[in-house]
Structure formats: C-alpha cells, structure tokens
Structure 1
Amino acid sequence: MTAIINSGTSFDGNISSLKLANKHDGFIYTSFGFHPISSAKIGEEVLNKVINQTISHMDEIVAIGEVGLDFFYVKDKSEREKQKKIFHKFAHLANEYKKPILIHCRDAERKAFNIIKDYEDIPEVIFHCFSGSLKTAKRIMNLDYKMSVATMICYSKKHQDLFKEIPLEYILTETDSPYLALERGLRNEPVNVKNAIKKIAQLKGISYGEVDKITESTAKKVFGI
C-alpha cells in the first residue's frame, strides 16, 4: 500500500480528514464530501457551509466526495428529491473546478449515473462501493468512469459475480473503513484492502501482484497523486 484516500462526509469530518492528510503528507490524501443520508435532513445554512469549506480547500483535496444518493436508508420521496438537488450542487462544483468525484449511490446507481453523465467537465468519476447491475456498470464503463469495490467482495456472491465481469482497468479497491469488516462486529481497517485484491485475483484467475499493480496505477491516475 503506497497511498490512502480518506474521504470526509461532513463539515467536521472533512476537517479531521484534512488534518490526517497533513500529518501523513504524501501517504494519506483527502476528499471533502457530504453524505447523502445527512443531506436529506439538513438546512441550507449547513449545506452552504460545507460547499464554502470545499471551495476554500480545493487545492488541498484530491476529489469531491462522498456525495450522492442513498435510497436504501432514505425512503421518503421529498427527502430523496432533496438528495438529488444537493448531489447536483456538488456535481456542479466538481465540474466547475474540474475535480474527480466520489459517488455514494446505494440503491440508486442508475439514478446517480443519469445525473452525473451530464457534467462533462468532471475529469474522473468513481462509483464508490458499487453494488449496481452489470447493465449499469456497462453504461458507467462506456463513459470511462470507474467503480470501486470494498472488502465485501470477500463474502458477497453478488459482488463476486459482478466484478468478475468488470474489466480490471475500471476497478478501484477500498475498504470503506471502519465499515464492511471481514467479520461482523469488528472494525475494518485500510490494511484489509489486500483481502479484496486477493479475491479479485482469484475471481479473474490472475496474480495478486497484477491486480495490485493495475488498480494502484488506475487510482494514482484518477486522483492525480
């Protein structure tokens, strides 16, 4: 492991992420985001605070995100519409400043794709912890977007079947730490990304080293590090 992208998901979380990146300069990099579960319930003042924070630190972050849609936890129609409006605001920001964007899109992969595809000046688009259909994955690849897979691939047959069909050059690896641990009740850690790499190698019938080399090269290109 030669680098970590640590994503903020709130005003305070963004600050903490930046402090960690500054402490481990050249190894940990940060992205500023606003989690869609939170965005469904906040007011305009909080939203503008995070947007202004992101703009003021644009030169210190490698991407915008996590931002996006979460229709798994958020069922209310009006709150979902609010998520979409806020997602558009951050997509516009990434488009204007030409920053990569990390998209959270649980149970809303197709809808997130249909929004982001219209922002043509965003240099790189990454669908974080992608769990959508192969059909949506193909649409994502047609625009040269990327999909990341976390340690869930070690135990989720759905993700194993999906990412077996996705060419390696479109895949990034992650852990989503502290979530998605290999065992229920444990805390996930970035070092466990090696388990995701190992499983991808098994699924594709290639070496661990080849998966590691290609996904690392893709990540460095995507985030400009």
Structure 2
Amino acid sequence: MSISALTNPALIVQTAAEQEAAAANASINAEDAKEKGIEFLQLLLTQLQNQNPLEPTDTNELTNQLLQQSQLEQQIQTNETLTELAAKIEANTGFSSIGYIGKEIEVLDNMAPIQNNEASFAYVIDGTPETIDLTVTNANGDILYTIPGSIEPGAHKFTFDATQSDLPVADGEPVFLFVNAQDKNGKSLNGLISGFAKVDGVDGSSGQSLLTAGNVTYSLGQILRITGNSQTVAEEQTTP
C-alpha cells in the first residue's frame, strides 16, 4: 500500500464563499440590531406621548426599558468593533504572508513543485522496513520515475531530477511522491511524507492568503517549518 502525505485534520480553512457568508451574516445582524433599536425608541416615544396623564408610565418600567435600549446599543457597537477587528486581522495576515517570498518551506504534503528541474521531498517510515519503493507521478497519475528508497532508520530526503523523468514535466508543475514500504513479512508500513518548495508569491484571489510555488499553492496552516536549507534532513537521496 502506498504511503502518501497525511493532511492535518485539525486544520479548518474557510473558503472564500464561507468568509463572504460570515461577513454578510455579521452585517445583517448589525443592521437588524439597529432597526430593532430604532423601532424600540419609536414605540417608547409613542407610549409616552399617548400615556394617560392620570396614570403615567411606571418609573421603574421606564428605567428597565431604557436599560434594555442601552444594552442593545452596546451589542451593536460590540458587533461593529468585532467586524472591524476581523477585517484588520485578515488584512494583516495577507501582509505578513509576503515575508515568505523567497523562503524555502517544508509542508505536510506529498506534492511539491518542479523548481529548477528538481522537486524535493522527505519521508520517514513507522517501523523497520525491509524494502522501500519510491514512485514519482504527475497530476494525472502518470509514473515519472521509480527508485528504491533508503531502509535506514530516521528521516530521508529525496530529490527528484526532472531531467531524468520518463515523461516530460515542466518547471512549476506539481509532482507527487508515493512511498511503498514493507517489513520482512511483506506487511505494509505507515509513514509520513513532506514536500519542499521555494515560495515565489502570495495569492489572495480566493479570499485567503495562499503561498504560491510554481503552479502549487499552500495555506499557511500546511507549513511545518521554514527550512532555509532543506539539507537539515538526516540523509539525502537523489535520482541518479
């Protein structure tokens, strides 16, 4: 069984549609609260104008009504403040993403872009493998390259040389690493795969800030670390 990169189940990324819906809902709630506040004041004014002079509105009741109106106004102000704060946080996130440009990142994904005719990955196996086979494919699932992997313990880096590919692959295109590891009894072993990429831009067209590397995009939540130099992995293996 092939071992592919695990995604982070705790990562919840809002889509652009979800963000727009949330913003629209917040705006509707604020407008609704304002309308209710105006209606409340109009009703209170009408009540005071039409009250029986011999039986005026109870002072305690009037105080309670005014207190309710004050609480409603505070709710409106709080909603508006939270909406403004959320917008500022979103804008700041997009601005801070620019700092990733030119940096090499490691992401929990079995996908990496071809950059300068290479794509780099790291893998680690849970258990003691007897054999490991590495397979690189394109986005269509076509096999580009296969090679035996290292069975030594620990993490291993693998760099795919696109010039050695069985099929043409262009710079910027995504490629995928699959690892088939088996123990001495032929049982498949689990593991993790990460990909490396040099960030070359930020894409905010979807409503959230995504890092771009060639034709590949990553969310900030996918980043394991900013490596600076991917040689920090224990052992490196390249296509011969």
Q: Which TM-score applies when normalising by structure 1?
A: 0.22
Larger fraction in helix: 1
Larger fraction in strand: 2
Higher relative contact order (Cα pairs below 8 Å, separated by 6+ residues):
2
Q: Which TM-score applies when normalising by structure 2?
A: 0.21
Between structure 1 and structure 2, the one with the greater Rg is 2
